[in-house]
Amino acid sequence: MSLQKFHILFISLATLCFIGFGVWCFMSATEAAHGVLFAGIASSVLGLAAAVYGLWFYRSKIRNPDEGSIVSNQS
């Protein structure tokens, strides 16, 4: 497995963990638990940011690997 594909796998798992933790926080929050609610919101925002980063990385590095390359194979 290449390093780029491992990176996509790692970002995908991190996104699932962030979103899962956010859902768990929202389901277990009570009216008095403002810290749990804040943790759920923060985790959801981080999950969304990780998903956006994962899509950007996939589009720029995996699907079009030559586009962002500094070294060219042309002679």
The domain segmentation of the chain, as residue ranges, is 13-63
Maximum Cα–Cα distance for the chain, whole Å?
A: 67
Q: What is the pLDDT of residues 11-64, one digit of tens each?
A: 999 999 999 999 999 998 877 788 899 999 999 999 999 999 999 998 888 777
Contact residues for 7 (Cβ-Cβ < 8 A; gap 6+):
57
**Other CB atoms closer than 10 Å to residue 50's CB: what's the count?**
20
Q: What is the pLDDT of residue 32?
A: 72
